[in-house]
Amino acid sequence: MTFWKFFFNYHKSKTSDNKKIKKNKELCIREVNRERIYLSTCKNIDVEDLEKLCDSVGWVRRPLRKVKYALENSFLIVSIFLYKENKKQLIGFARVTSDGSFNATIWDVVVHPDFQGNGLGKLLMHAIIKELRTYDISTITLFADPEVIKFYKHIGFTIDPDGVKGMFWYPI
């Protein structure tokens, strides 16, 4: 099975994969020579690495102290790492706030531009959904920018079901 085929089939695989992530915190999803790509649910993320990844897609820099606190208070973090020549690079990331019971909201979904368009985002999303389903969480939500709405629809997300609207409050 090729690398990308593995990616696209990953989410169709049985729950044993999911258990594997939970148990080991890391799941190798590619290993060719000295290059390995890992999917991880480990919450111990280097905030500088995360901000570098966010820089790569042009997001505004955030105070590291706040990022660290947000990571600590996230219910679930799913990351993708590239291990190459003894170096570890964070290339994908998403995190979730949740009550661990009914509702969850996904934030900060990001894939490094060098690795976009190959199913990594899809892989991240399916890993999150799988993990949340192990808690029997049935309402998984997110707020999508216009340019990624199609992507999330493809994953199975819907807009405004039964007229329910996402609403925002910002400080003036």
Which residue ranges make up the site for a second copy (CB under 8 A)? 62, 66-67, 69-75, 95, 97-105, 107, 129, 133, 136, 138-146, 149, 152-153, 155-171
CA–CA separation, 158 and 165 (whole Å): 11
Give 25 or 43: the residue with its C-beta nearer to a second copy.
Answer: 43
Known catalytic residue at 152: yes
Using CA atoms, how far residue 40 sits from 17, 30, 70, 125, 144, in Å, is: 12, 13, 18, 13, 23
Least separation in angstroms between CB 104 and a second copy: 8
CA–CA separation, 80 and 26 (whole Å): 9
Give 82 or 108: the residue with its C-beta nearer to a second copy.
Answer: 108
Which residue, among 85, 82, 106, has the nearest Cα to 94 in the 3D structure? 106
Least separation in angstroms between CB 56 and a second copy: 19
Give 4 or 102: the residue with its C-beta nearer to a second copy.
Answer: 102
CA–CA separation, 102 and 78 (whole Å): 19
Strand partners, 37: 30, 82
User: Which tokens in the block code for residue 70?
Assistant: 């947000």
Least separation in angstroms between CB 3 and a second copy: 26
Least separation in angstroms between CB 116 and a second copy: 20
Give 24 or 159: the residue with its C-beta nearer to a second copy.
Answer: 159
User: Which tokens in the block code for residue 46?
Assistant: 């280097």
Residue of 38, 69, 135, 152 marked catalytic: 152
Please identify every residue annotated as catalytic: 152
